[in-house]
Amino acid sequence: MESRRIIFLVVGILLVSSSIIGIALALFVNRAAPKYKVDECPAEYGLNPVLIVSLDGFRADYLERGLTPHIQALADAGVHAPFMKPSYPSVTFPNHYTIVTGSYPETHGIIANKFYDPEFKSVFSVGSEESTNGRWWGAQPIWNTVNAQGKKSATFFWPGSDADINGTHPTYWFPYDGDVTFEDRVDQVLAWVAMDESERPSFISLYFDEPDHTGHGEGPDSPQVNDQLVRVDGMIQRLTQGLMDQGHAGCVNLIIIADHGMAFSGEGKVFKVADYIANVSDRAYTYTGAFGRVDPKDEDPEVKFGMMEKLVCQDPKMRAYDYEGLPTRLHFSNNPRIEEIVMDLEPGYTLSVTSDWFLEGQHGYDNYDSLMNALFLAAGPAFQEKIEVEPFQNIELYNLMCHLAGIVPAPNNGTQGSLDHILKSPPPRDPLPEESKPPTAEFPSEEELPNRLGISGCPGDLQAPEDWVYSLDVPEAVKSELEQYHLPWGIPHSGDLPADVSLLHHGEYVTGYSSTLRMPLWTSFTISGFTHQVPIYEWSSDPRLTEENTPTCAAYDELKNVSMGPLFPPGHSKNSTLERVPYVVSNAVPMTSQVSEKWQELLVTKLNSWVMNYGGVNVIAGPIFDNDADSHPDDFTGFGATPEVPSDLFVVMTRCKTHASPEMCDPSQLDAQAFIYPLVQRVPNCMEPAEYMLMFSSKVRDVELATGLDLYPNLEFHDRVRTLVRIHDKLWN
């Protein structure tokens, strides 16, 4: 017993000592940290280069440990965000290449650190000779953009820079060699910055593989990771002190980022595919790790769905998706390199076939998870000083860096102007092009009205008009008031969509009805009260439509496993005498029972709670036709007379942070969250309603891309863009 007490005493002393040492170290390094001074740049220096430094795996909250005073000094001096969101999957090579192309991994093709290309019939893996072959690398990295426009570029070990992409490398680059010291890398960057203007690169990138490397082996909460935080902070000190010693701190636009975060993994957090699918090694190729995928050797879709049925609902920490059925916000469906089944695991868990092998730290998970959050800060002559900005996704960096380097960006997935607010002098931006207001579908004359009451051939059609029918005949002055209330930021622009839109006004909502689709392209409404129970009515013809553009109930009856569903929820009707209005066919969209249940949970149950918390909420909803899962609308011109079944339904909800009514809200106080719900999930995962809502949430910009609509057209450019790209990695309270 006495020996055991001695052991406990010794352990206690060691723990206390290590804590004291850690605190002392933190106090020492914080006291020793100088401020980063962005002085005037010498006039003879010329154009300011952009320098981006990656600290691989530097999770955003590592900064709070107090071990990185020089990084903190930069954040305090310039611009910083609480975090930057990686793109999915939150893996090193896909995200580093996303940062320098502004493109999602599905777009640029580097979908993982290891994958198979069915066209090349070859495997890409990090560190292999094949990975330096430019054929794998799509999109245009910024060093190619820079070089193509007559300027110079330099990279030190940035993923992709040692590949001959379109036959081109950066002007200055090195093949990867992990033995090159961090100090030598920094010194080379300082030498590039000090070059004569004729030889100096306009774009410079620098890569460190820490704290990621140690985080995998020791875990994110280990003392060894803390040691690496101190180490990389020392490299930032070496860099910034070097710039100040050169007199170039005011010349360089410096950005420090990470590609992703890190989750604690460890023993006992392994899902073995062989436990769920018999003979899986013979039947499928399995990519193991945090970002797991299963690719059946038999290409019959039924084989895939059969395997998925064995994987879903087995454990709440493991989900399986058909790659085309992944949430739109992940942008991970439109590339033949993506395997058939994509596993979505809770952070810390990994996939294997039969092995128990594990790492102490992992990444690759859903980019919405806070443990995947990455570092972002910037300082230099172009950047604002001493400000914190809201989080954003890393696809937005490419356009920013192109602006800083004075070049025109190549096509990419970022949104121009999304980071203008971090600049001292942002460039001028053009507003949305003007678009003519859609015509209003007119209520028929008294003589014509009886003929219109049955044009859809629906069970609820009337023999003679009732009072509620005349509510569809809205006076012009009232139409304008309804638009101001239900469409406070303007009528959505439909651009080049061959939708043939006309407006339908109702007391509770306004619809942009598409004659091409024979259904609403969108419906918008503002609510400030709660839903109530209303009877379910039979569908009725809308007398404002004609035989040429109305849907028919007979056509809907021909659809399999799909029925007419109300886009505007009838429970939001305030007038008990007008409860039949939401059951006119112009409010109908094809719905499955699966999506109808989710729709009710979101637009009735959850929306009620948000209205109670925030006051008025504006909602715009509609169908999405994206059957090829490329995040862009299908060609409407190929649709027939039978209603085309959407791939998804969308919702965009907008509220005021100050709890003002939406139409009275200061545009800077607007907040929006969006959702894209698939109509069909062949093999659904088991999720609680709130979990499903977050999984299938999205940015508003994702909705714009998938629908072809431009929302909030009357907002000023930066207010609109801020609302479009805002990320909600948690639902509103």
| Catalytic (active-site) positions | 92
686, 316 contact by CB (below 8 A): yes
| C-alpha 364 chain-centroid distance | 15
Which residues fall within 8 angstroms of residue 153, CB to CB, at 6 or more apart? 142, 143, 146, 147, 170, 171, 172, 201, 202, 203, 204
Beta strands in 265-423 (DSSP E): 270-272, 284-287, 293-296, 318-322, 341-345, 350-352, 361-362, 376-379, 387-388, 392-393
340, 294 contact by CB (below 8 A): yes
Structure tokens at 468: 């509620």
Residue 291 phi, psi (nearest 5): -105, 80
Which residue stretches of 565-685 are H helix?
A: 593-600, 607-614
- Report strand pairing: 341-345 vs 318-322: antiparallel
Residue 731 phi, psi (nearest 5): -70, 155
Which residues fall within 8 angstroms of residue 126, CB to CB, at 6 or more apart? 92, 93, 113, 114, 159
- Cα 370 to Cα 212, 260, 692: the distances in Å are 16, 10, 17
- Which amino acid does the sequence have at 672? A
Peptide bond into 211 cis (omega under 30): yes
Give the integer Cα–Cα distance in Å for 97 and 205. Answer: 12
Q: H or E element: which one contains 224?
A: helix 223-246
| C-alpha 391 chain-centroid distance | 12
- Report strand pairing: 670-678 vs 588-591: unpaired
* Residue recorded with tokens 């990389």: 232
- Residue count of the chain: 733
Quick check: helix, strand or coil at residue 373? coil
Which residues fall within 8 angstroms of residue 138, CB to CB, at 6 or more apart? 103, 107, 108, 109, 110
Give the integer Cα–Cα distance in Å for 239 and 241. Answer: 6
Beta strands in 408-507 (DSSP E): 501-505
Of 348, 305, 306, 310, the C-alpha closest to 323 is 305
Cα torsion through 646, 651, 652, 656, rounded to 10: 170
544, 472 contact by CB (below 8 A): yes
Q: H or E element: which one contains 722?
A: helix 717-725
Residue 540 phi, psi (nearest 5): -130, 155
205, 211 contact by CB (below 8 A): no
Cα-Cα-Cα-Cα dihedral sign, residues 636, 642, 645, 646 = positive
Structure tokens at 533: 């129970």
Give the full edge-to-edge strand order of the sheet including 318-322. Answer: 284-287, 293-296, 341-345, 318-322
- What is the Rg, in whole angstroms, of the alpha carbon atoms belonging to the chain? 28
DSSP state of 593: H
Of 431, 54, 400, 4, the C-alpha closest to 209 is 54
Would you tell me how many other CB atoms lie within 10 Å of the CB of residue 664?
Answer: 10
Helix, strand, coil distribution of the chain in percent, nearest 5: 35, 20, 45
